[in-house]
């Protein structure tokens, strides 16, 4: 199982537009991707409501996990996405 830690770069946190972009990208991987606050129960990364309900704010860390072929590459791409200020784009 692949795992990565990412820091939320979006100034408004992981909600609204940034959350929508992240969920779309996670769905596009075709894998079962999960996202969690460190040490807490993970939620489905393809669920916009689940992702928003994490309440991850600017500068906070989240843990991504995925299984299957291409999981490492998929997570690297998602980490790169979270490291951009999606709200400013």
Q: Which of 12, 36, 63, 79 is close enough to bind other proteins by CB under 8 A? A: 12
Q: Which of 30, 59, 68, 70 is close enough to bind other proteins by CB under 8 A? A: 59
Q: What are phi and psi of 41, to 5 degrees?
A: -65, 135
Contacts of 39 (CB under 8 A, 6+ apart): none
Q: Which of 22, 26, 34, 46 is close enough to bind other proteins by CB under 8 A? A: 46
Q: Do 60 and 8 touch, CB atoms closer than 8 A?
A: yes
Least Å from the CB of residue 8 to other proteins: 10
Classify 62 as helix, strand or coil: strand
Annotated catalytic residue: which of 15, 23, 51, 74? 15
Residue 56 to residue 74: CA distance in whole angstroms = 21
Cβ proximity to other proteins: between 30 and 76 the closer is 30
For other proteins, the binding residues (CB under 8 A) are: 11-13, 15-17, 20, 23-24, 43-44, 46-50, 52-53, 55, 57-59
């Amino acid at each position: 199982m692949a795992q990565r830690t990412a820091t939320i770069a979006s100034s408004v946190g992981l909600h609204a537009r940034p959350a929508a972009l992240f969920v779309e990208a996670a769905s596009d991987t075709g894998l079962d991707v999960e996202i969690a606050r460190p040490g807490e129960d993970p939620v489905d990364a393809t669920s916009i409501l689940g992702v928003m309900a994490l309440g991850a704010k600017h500068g906070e860390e989240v843990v991504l996990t995925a299984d299957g072929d291409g999981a490492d590459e998929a997570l690297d791409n998602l980490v790169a996405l979270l490291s951009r200020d999606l709200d400013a784009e």
